[in-house]
Structure 1
Amino acid sequence: MHRRIVLALPVAMIIAACSNLPPSEPVDKVVWLEQGEDWEGEARNWFHHVSQGTATLPIPFEWFMALEQPGVNLFGAGELVSSPDYLARLGFIPGKINRFNQSGLPVGFAVDYNVTSPVDGRQYNAIGFTCAACHTGQMTYQGTSIRYDGGPAVTDITEFTIVLFLAMFETRYSDVRFNRFAARVLGEQNTKANRKALKKAFSTNLMELIDLQLSSIEAEEQREIVAELDRSGESRTLKDIAKGLKASLKNIEGFARLDALNRIGNQVFALDANRPSNFVTPDAPVNYPHIWSSSWFEWVQYDGSIMQPMVRNAGEALGVAALVNLEPGERHFDSTVRVDALYRIEQMLAGSVPPFQARAFTGLQAPKWPEQILGAIDREQAAKGQALYGELCQGCHLPATSDPAFWSEKYWSVENDAGERLLRLKIIPADDIGTDPAQSRVLADRKVDTRGLGIDTEVYAGRDCEPLRVTEAEDASFAFSLGAVVQETTAYWYRQHGIGEAEQRRMNGERPNCLQAPGGYKARPLNGIWATAPFLHNGSVPDLYALLSPADERPDSFYLGNREFDPVRVGYRSGKGTGLTRIDTSLPGNHNSGHEFDDDEGPGVIGPALSEANRMALIEYLKTL
């Protein structure tokens, strides 16, 4: 089968290679916004590069550092994939060399040296994403790059995957390129025997990746591909699949968006469990959520589905390819997840003093509008906008965090097991808010085959946290099965490291593993909302001005990936450009309806149409939050 796949692969690769990356965006000055005294210097550097135990890049660290960029180079050796300028074109923020980042990798990249796989026992140096890869924001304005922690990333993970795959393929099937690669990897050990061994290992790794790419194809289609290859050496079916998949992914994800929940499900229940039938095509993208303040929400996951911070964070780590052993036995649920690092990250985000006690969020704080860069806020207009906010927005999004009314016990009405108050937010049904329902259905509707995975776990379900026994089944609930696997994974780590029950509760945020599939969207406070474009949960609206407009006045299509900021409309410039992601809002998962201000009543209309003056006044006030 491997031989036949290799024959077909160039067709898919040629198709994948047809896109271009955006050009480099030169900047004259870099500014990191202030977000609290605990988020500066060494602490920020640690957050940017601390490992969660992930192996997101499916190759050893030293291989990644040695790969050349894909494409023909007529003048000898090409530039490296790991070049900061090249990765910046994919949206990754360049990082500086320091004791936490010895190789100068971008923000959000972490290296784990001498990792032992809990699955097959092999040892290697892993490279993967930490949470900063998806939750560090950036924008440019007139030559200044503005950066801030906890904001939505503007990366294109889909294109990065294609780049990495192409670079590996071209390295394997070009002797000249492979020899250069081997020289970088082997250094003084670059002998003929070692090159041969490296090529064998590299080929095995590449074939595993190819198999993973094909694992989601139905068996009947695989047989048809093989038959066509036997007849002609080229598969029309594979070509069609590759075309369709590339078109689908380009429209569904791309810059600034990812179908995170379905990807986590694919990683855990299709790849980790070696169960291809559990694979689904990503079709429910979300704009990377901003994470400031969220440690103190009653339901910490952005969609209101997870109560416990550790389960949310460890689940995210598994989703970006921390290794886990799902084979029942002595090492069942052993993993590379760094539970201790996840706890420390959460402590940094949460702050040392509970916010209800301090009457302020003391951890990672929302970034303030930088008037010295983006222009002064019109305070007279903002005052008019504040009145509109109280009338139209406050009922769902609560008073501004600077308003004493925000700290009322009626909003902070629940307590964790340590007696610390948590913020209860509204979860609005998808039908009521009228926005695209795709993401709200993932946890409610998706089923996974968990037979043979040894799941028999008590979790808690629903708003009242009733006990629920999760067991393996052919059509098990994705939501509760994922929660059970993550709970068992963290429990294994606690046992392995001798962590007592009281310390476990503290590391878990003093909350049970309570889960729900609410079928709606959480209305969170709007502090820092100006820095979180694109808008709506799926990033289907480019700026605040469009968000405050009726749906029929919002753009039917626009482009993501340009980081130049528009301080008037408050969002990224969204015109057409090379290598950018086109968002077609007519596609399922991309709909831009709902959360509308319109005089025509209907699903998703939350208030009357706003005049031009009122839209601008409300935008001016939102800049102050």
Structure 2
Amino acid sequence: MTSIRTLLPLALLLSACAGPPTPIPSGTPVPDAAGPLKVVNLDQGWDEQTQLAFWFSTQGSRIVPYRWFLALEQADSDAPFRSDANIERFGYLPARPGPGRWNPDGLPIGFTKTAEQAGQAWMGLSCAACHTTQLNIKGVGLRIDGGPAMADFNLFFGELVAALAATRDDPAKFARFAQRVLGEAASAAQQQALREALVKQLADSSARLTLNKPGHPPGHARLDAFGNIFNEVLVVALNEPANARPPDAPVSYPFLWDTPQHDVVQWNGSAPNGPFGLGELTRNVGEVLGVFGGLRVSDCGKDSCSYPNHVDIRQLGELEGWVRSLWSPQWSAQYLGPLDAAMRQRGQQIYQAQCLGCHASIERTDPFRRVTAQLRDVGSDPAMATAAAMRVAKTGPLQGTLSLPTLQRYGAEAGGGPLTVQGAVGVLLGDKDATLAALLSQFDAQLRDELRGGASVASMAADARRPSAQMLAQALGGGSSAHAANRAAAPAPAPNAIYKARPLNGIWATAPYLHNGSVPTLWELLQPPAQRMRSFQVGSRAFDAQRVGFDTQQGPYRFDTTLPGNGNGGHAYGTALSESQKRDLLEYLKSL
């Protein structure tokens, strides 16, 4: 079968022949607002425009109106809510305006502006908010794209709601807010309309805050993303309050490099990549639904429903393409100190004997790399895997309609995972043109990445894995291909306590460790579980290059491993090594 992608667009060929984009050299200064720190990039394969696009392109997330966010004061003072000091307190990364068209108002990394509709733009979050980190050492901040953020979203959103409430209740605060939003010449009617809109937004935001209140705060560097997504789909989108569950299984934000190259992703391995890019797109839509994608399920008939939302599907295709070209960061001798060659060699032998079975070695820059995830029960805390596998919900308006993953009719209840996939696929089917464009964008990105590796056009044209336009159209329009694709995109129930092992390239930059962030350093992970820290501080960016992780004595949040979901047991591999062997292994892990 001949694909329209076999006849490559002229622009794509010219782009490929021109060579890869110039990567950001190691040590390149970053436009940011980090004060006295010298913040630099490591070479991760991106040029500056790709990095900025990842940081500031909207996914369609809408948290509050954009002008409101610029104008809002903190609840207990007249200081701007978006001040650098406040943003740092939440664990997000401040940034300066620009360069060029990017981030004109100097939002933090991962904070975005939607296009205006009916005169209103919105502030929302992108992947970069949760998947960009920084390691501070000796006056230098190493910016790591795709790394797990230090963010505390619960703290951020709780204080945002408090700021909205204070603005409603304090006349002087509201007057300043209205002047910034409307201008000095605003009429009394305009101010009254703004107040009414503020009251409505506060009610909506307060309801979400209450819905997603955990039993105990997850703190910095963690979030129960599945729990939040489930609540947004199963409770809000389905309008079924009885489906609510507290999100009490927080996890560390996964690092993103090599994500498109995996067969399955998520900590529990529940989300497949493919076929034809549908798995990736479904996964990304689900992520946006959890960060204010606005899904509602309505107008359900015998065989279909409407799925109104404001997810930017086309942009999600671009985003997946950018992540495809992202490389893991490499240890910087310039900023972190040189590695000991003899220790590294001894550590490599230990790794090959004891670690390689679960954590395969890959070439970080190989455009053809593929990763087969290893799903294992290593005795770590089961809360996340259990919660995801056992979530059951009332189907509400979907009852009696066809399930997209199985083509069976929904009963009164169904699994939370399949229902969430139903919502995501409903979003994609609701805008087939955008979905097709996003899938082709993902394909173009893969092709460009492989051309960078020197693959011939002929060999890729003959690759049967690549979809044709006709196959994609059939998958989006109905028929057996669509049903097969939808079944493949549905996450299978995960057994309790089974999590995904992956290659460890760049692992040195991804603290804290284990799926739930319960172990602060790699050195600590090599200690027997009974001897690991029972509590430590989280939230500092101060990097410990010896133990490989963040400083455990600093930070605003105290991590208590005795709380539900916070257990630091399991993964006892390497714990029986001698101290010198552990140091050798650690030296090798730094080099990956």
TM-score by length of 2: 0.81
Distance 2:519 2:385 in 1: 18
Partner of 2:262: 297
Distance in 1 separating the partners of 2:74 and 2:363 = 46
What corresponds to 2:423 in structure 1? 485
2:313 corresponds to: 339
Aligned-partner SS, 2:591: coil
Residue in 1 that maps onto 2:79: 79
Is the contact made by 1:95 and 1:107 (CA closer than 8 Å) also made in structure 2? yes
Which consecutive residues of structure 1, in runs of 5 or more, have no partner in the other structure?
Answer: 1-23, 117-122, 217-244, 351-362, 413-419, 460-467, 597-605
Is residue 566 of structure 1 aligned with residue 550 of structure 2?
Answer: no
Give 1:188 shift. Answer: 3.8
| Amino acid in the other structure paired with 2:38 | K
What's the CA shift string for 1:578-625, capped at 9, x where partnerless? Answer: xx11111011200000001xxxxxxxxx45612111111111000110
Q: Quote the Cα distance in structure 2 between the aligned partners of 1:374 and 1:396.
A: 28
Secondary structure of the equivalent of 1:458?
A: coil
Partner of 2:581: 614
Partner of 1:599: none
Structure 1 residues 137 and 67: alpha-carbon distance in aligned structure 2, compared to 1, 3 A threshold: same
1:599-610 aligned at under 5 Å gives the runs: 606=573, 609-610=576-577
String of CA shifts for 1:380-426, please: whole Å, max 9, x gaps: 111111011011101111235379xxx9xxxx9xxxxxxx8843221
Measured against aligned partners, the alpha-carbon deviations of 1:104-145 in whole angstroms (never above 9, x if no partner) come to 1111011113347xxxxxx73221111111111211112111
Bigger shift: residues 296-305 or 377-386? 296-305
Secondary structure in 2 matching 1:107:
coil
**Does the CA contact (< 8 Å) of 2:220 and 2:538 recur in 1?**
yes
Alpha-carbon displacement from aligned partner over 1:258-308 (angstroms, at most 9, x marks no partner) = 001011001111122222211111111110000101101111334211111
Q: Is the 8 A contact 1:452 1:472 kept in 2?
A: no
The two structures, once aligned, show a CA RMSD in angstroms of 2.6
Report what 1:417 is aligned to: none
What residue number does 2:358 align with?
396
In structure 1, the residue matched to 2:66 is: 61
Distance in 2 between the 1:494 and 1:583 partners? 45
CA–CA distance in 1 between the matches of 2:243 and 2:315? 30
2:190 is equivalent to residue 181 of structure 1? no
Decide which of 561, 565, 568 is 1:592's aligned counterpart. Answer: 568
User: Residue 233 of structure 1 aligns with which residue?
Assistant: none
In the TM superposition, residue 338 of structure 1 has moved relative to its aligned partner by 1.3
1:199 — aligned with what? 195
> 1:470 deviation in Å?
5.3
In structure 1, C-alpha distance between the alignment counterparts of 2:585 and 2:436, rounded to whole Å: 53
Structure 2 residue aligned with 1:322: 293
Which shifted more, 269-278 or 281-290?
269-278
Q: Which amino acid aligns with 1:382?
A: R
How far off its partner does 1:312 sit? 1.0
Alignment of 1:433-444 (within 5 A): 433-444=378-389
CA separation of 1:504/1:255 partners in 2, compared to 1, >3 Å: closer, same or farther?
A: farther
Partner of 1:30: 39
Kindly indicate whether the alpha-carbon contact (under 8 Å) linking 1:451 and 1:472 is maintained by their aligned counterparts in 2.
no
Once residues 419 and 356 of structure 2 are traced to their aligned partners in structure 1, the CA distance between those partners, rounded to angstroms, is: 36
- State the match for 2:559 in structure 1: 583
The CA distance in 1 between the partners of 2:407 and 2:522, in whole Å, is: 44
Residue 382 of structure 1 is matched in structure 2 by 344
- Match of 2:282? 311
Q: Give 1:431-510 correspondences, 5 Å limit.
A: 433-453=378-398, 455-459=401-405, 468-469=406-407, 471-494=409-432, 501-503=470-472
Aligned 8 A contact 1:401 1:525 in 2: no
Q: Residue 140 of structure 2 aligns to which amino acid in structure 1?
A: T
**Aligned-pair CA distance for 1:495:** 5.2
Structure-to-structure mapping, 1:218-237, within 5 angstroms = none
Q: Deviations over 1:340-399 (max 9, x none)?
A: 11111111222xxxxxxxxxxxx2000011110011111111111101101110111123
- Compute the displacement of 1:176 (Å): 0.9
**Paired letter, 2:244:** F
Partner of 2:113: 111
CA contact (8 A) 2:271 2:283 kept: yes
1:102 to 104, 114, 118: 104
Contact 2:436 2:472 in 1 (8 A): no
Q: TM-score normalised to the size of structure 1?
A: 0.76
Equivalent AA in structure 2 for residue 311 of structure 1: T
Compared CA separation, residues 423 and 189, structure 1 to 2 (3 A)? same
Maintained 8 Å contact 1:470/1:484: no
Moved more, 303-312 or 523-532: 303-312
Mean CA deviation greater in 206-215 or 526-535: 206-215
* Whole-angstrom CA distance in 1 between matches of 2:538 and 2:258: 26
Cα–Cα, structure 1 residues 263 and 214, in superposed 2: closer, same or farther, change >3 Å?
A: closer
Contact 2:394/2:414, CA 8 A, preserved across alignment: yes
Pairing 1:348-359 to 2, within 5 Å after superposition: 348-350=322-324
Contact 2:418–2:490 at 8 Å: present in 1 too?
no
Q: 1:85 to 1:481 in 2, by over 3 A?
A: same
Aligned to 1:623, what secondary structure does the other structure show?
A: helix
Q: Secondary structure at the match of 2:121?
A: strand
Task: State the identity %.
Answer: 35
Q: What secondary structure sits across from 2:404 in the alignment?
A: strand
CA distance in structure 1 between the aligned counterparts of 2:435 and 2:415, rounded to whole angstroms: 30
> Residue 578 of structure 2 aligns to which amino acid in structure 1?
S
User: 2:27 corresponds to which residue?
Assistant: none
Q: Matches of 1:474 and 1:618 in 2, distance apart?
A: 53
User: Which residue in the other structure is 1:425 paired with?
Assistant: 373
2: distance between equivalents of 1:268 and 1:607?
41
SS in 1 for 2:123: strand
Is the CA contact (8 Å cut-off) linking 2:526 and 2:575 kept in structure 1? no
1:145-174 residue CA offsets vs partner (Å, 9 max, x unmatched): 110111101111011012101111111111
Q: Could you say which residue in structure 2 is the equivalent of 1:356?
A: none
Q: Post-superposition shift, 1:503?
A: 4.5
> Counterpart of 1:155 in structure 2: which amino acid?
A
Cα deviation, residue 522, structure 1:
0.7
C-alpha deviation, 1:214, in angstroms: 5.2
Amino acid at match of 2:569: S
Query: Given the superposition, is the C-alpha separation of residues 310 and 208 from structure 1 closer, same or farther in structure 2, using an over 3 Å criterion?
Result: closer
- Say whether the 8 Å CA contact 1:549–1:610 is kept in structure 2: no
Deviation at residue 458 of structure 1 after TM alignment: 3.4
Q: CA deviation at 1:201?
A: 1.9
2:394 and 2:127 mapped to 1: Cα distance?
28
1:262 aligns with 2:258: no
Report the CA distance between 1:40 and its aligned residue. 1.9
1:166 corresponds to which of 127, 144, 162: 162
Q: Return 330-339 or 177-186, whichever deviates more.
A: 330-339
Cα 1:172–1:372 shift into 2, 3 Å: same
Q: What is the CA-CA distance between 1:42 and the residue it aligns to?
A: 1.3
Tell me the equivalent position of 2:92: 92
**Which sections of structure 2, spanning at least 5 residues, go unmatched?**
1-32, 273-278, 438-468, 477-481
The letter for the 1-side match of 2:388 is: L
Mapped to 1, the partners of 2:43 and 2:263 lie a distance apart of: 26
Q: Is the 8 A contact 2:527 2:575 kept in 1?
A: no
TM-superposed CA distance for 1:505, in Å, is 8.6
Deviation, 1:475, is 2.6
